[in-house]
């Protein structure tokens, strides 16, 4: 499949199993955009009652998707939007009970995404900053000092352009993590 067709197939998938099938069938052709799109779509579907499989880390295609996310982050392939969408998608899946963030594979992917956030934070827009920080707040997972400083700097840069919901989410993150801006 061409890269555009893979992206379109993931974006138009009606259920999680469809996304995982595209991942499984195109594993060696997937790039950072495909990984980000898959996590974003899975995160949006996370609370659907008919979501299958119930626990994603039991699915081989999902484990490969996590491995790819970790690799993209470690090799600094993600742009700011892709990193924010991937992180936010994983957290939405965790929040819906579809995966456990303390699972070794999930934790490793989140750690790699956190480290890569330092590199992409200067390019983040207001939604990227809000989504990335919201993910940390939702998990109750305080990022390391370097990552937090990069995200706070980005937040200060984009604050004048934030929508009310982004600002509310950011305020909630500070309160949840017990930090002041």
Q: In the structure encoding, which two tokens stand for residue 38, read together?
A: 């898959």
Q: In the structure encoding, which two tokens stand for residue 83, read together?
A: 């990193």
Rounded Cα–Cα distance for residues 82 and 88 (Å): 10
Closest CA to 166 of 125, 109, 117: 125
Q: In the structure encoding, which two tokens stand for residue 45, read together?
A: 């579907």
- The residue with tokens 């929508």 is 163
pLDDT of res. 73 = 97
Closest CA to 98 of 18, 44, 164: 44
Residues 45/81, Cβ–Cβ less than 8 Å: no
Q: What is the pLDDT along the chain (181 residues), one digit of tens a residue?
A: 899 999 999 999 999 999 999 999 999 999 999 999 999 999 999 988 888 888 899 999 999 999 999 999 999 999 999 999 999 999 999 999 999 888 999 999 999 999 999 999 999 999 999 999 999 999 888 999 999 999 999 999 999 999 999 999 999 999 999 888 7
pLDDT of res. 32 = 97
Q: In the structure encoding, which two tokens stand for residue 77, read together?
A: 């392939």
């Amino acid at each position: 499949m061409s890269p555009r067709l893979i992206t379109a197939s993931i974006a138009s998938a009606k259920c999680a199993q469809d996304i995982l099938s595209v991942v499984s069938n195109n594993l060696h052709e997937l790039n950072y955009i495909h990984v980000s799109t898959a996590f974003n779509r899975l995160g949006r579907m996370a609370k659907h009652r008919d979501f299958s499989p119930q626990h994603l880390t039991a699915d081989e295609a999902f484990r490969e998707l996590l491995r790819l996310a970790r690799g993209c982050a470690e090799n600094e392939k993600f742009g700011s939007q892709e990193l924010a969408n991937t992180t936010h998608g994983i957290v939405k899946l965790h929040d819906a009970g579809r995966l456990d963030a303390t699972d070794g594979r999930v934790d490793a992917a989140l750690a790699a995404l956190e480290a890569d956030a330092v590199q992409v934070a200067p390019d983040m827009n207001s939604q990227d900053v809000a989504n990335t920080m919201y993910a940390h707040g939702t998990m109750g997972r305080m990022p390391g000092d370097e990552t937090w400083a990069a995200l706070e700097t980005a937040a200060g840069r984009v604050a004048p352009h934030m929508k009310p919901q982004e600002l509310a989410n950011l305020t909630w993150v500070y309160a949840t993590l017990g930090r002041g801006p």
